[in-house]
Amino acid sequence: MATRTAPSPATYAGACLDLAEFSGEIAKLLDREASGSLLHLDLDGLHQLNERHGRDVGDRTIRAATAVLKKWAHERGWLLGRVGGDEFSVFAPGTPLESAFLRADQMRQDLDAAIAKQLPRGARCTASIGVASAPRDAKTLHDLRRKADLALHAAKEQGGDTVGLTPSDEMVLKSSYYGQAQLARLKALAERQRKKEAVLLREALDDLLRKYDRD
């Protein structure tokens, strides 16, 4: 009898897997290459949206988000799984943390734009994303999920509609890109404004991107 070959992860690119399929494919990928980034995302304000405007609006919002994620996964050969009502996970094989972080923010912007088209006037719903990477953050699927959950929690603590990393990685990234004097001034400004440092950095980055978009 012929031996049945397990499907390649690329077979599922663009599909939205259930939790069991998603976990199984990531485990095989980690066994094969032992590297990649996990993006865990949640829709901010969906519960309030359902309560105020009805579940039909909430369902349309989830469908719009799913369509964006499927497109991202299909174009890049990533894996997509729905792990809860409004929670999704995306695994990017072979993608290091810094690249995954930048792509996650692009994904967040695409999600926000697609979701906004489904919302009644005055309603708000956005996406928060947590990013963790193997083997940098974790070497097992269980630990990678835990780190991605922590990163998502960090994004929520910053007010949502942003991309979060685990606290140690946020410090590594900041210390890599900014001088000590800049970091000291940033800390002082955050204390005066009563905002998270990551929120202020994101505001500055948004201003910078808008400046060059006009050029």
pLDDT in tens, 26-67: 988 888 877 999 999 999 999 999 999 999 999 999 999 999
Answer yes or no: is 3 within a domain. Answer: no
Domain match, 160 and 182 both: no
**pLDDT at 5 (0 to 100):** 39
Answer yes or no: is 211 within a domain. Answer: yes
Q: How many domains are contained in the chain? A: 2
Q: How would residue 4 be classed by pLDDT, with cut points 50, 70 and 90? A: very low
Domain match, 121 and 147 both: yes
Domain match, 146 and 183 both: no
Residue 76 corresponds to which tokens in the numbers above? 């890049």
Answer yes or no: is 72 within a domain. Answer: yes
Q: What distance in Å separates the CA atoms of residue 169 and residue 175, rounded to the nearest whole number?
A: 10
Answer yes or no: is 47 within a domain. Answer: yes
Instruction: Output the pTM of the full model.
Output: 0.75
Residues 179-183, mean pLDDT to the nearest whole number: 72
The answer for 155, left when phi > 0, alpha when psi is -120 to 50, beta otherwise, is alpha
Q: How would residue 187 be classed by pLDDT, with cut points 50, 70 and 90? A: confident
**pLDDT at 70 (0 to 100):** 95
Q: What distance in Å separates the CA atoms of residue 143 and residue 162, rounded to the nearest whole number?
A: 22
**pLDDT at 7 (0 to 100):** 46
114 pLDDT above the threshold of 90: yes
Answer yes or no: is 111 within a domain. Answer: yes
Domain extent at residue 90:
9-165
Domain match, 106 and 210 both: no
| Percent of the residues in the chain that have a pLDDT greater than 70, as a whole number | 85
Domain match, 110 and 212 both: no
**pLDDT at 174 (0 to 100):** 56
More confident: 191 or 132:
132
Task: Report CA torsion sign: 7, 8, 14, 17.
Answer: positive
CATH code (residue 58): 3.30.70.270
Q: How would residue 3 be classed by pLDDT, with cut points 50, 70 and 90? A: very low
pLDDT in tens, 161-172: 999 988 765 545
Q: Which of 123, 138, 165 is the last residue before a domain boundary?
A: 165
Domain match, 142 and 51 both: yes
Domain match, 161 and 188 both: no
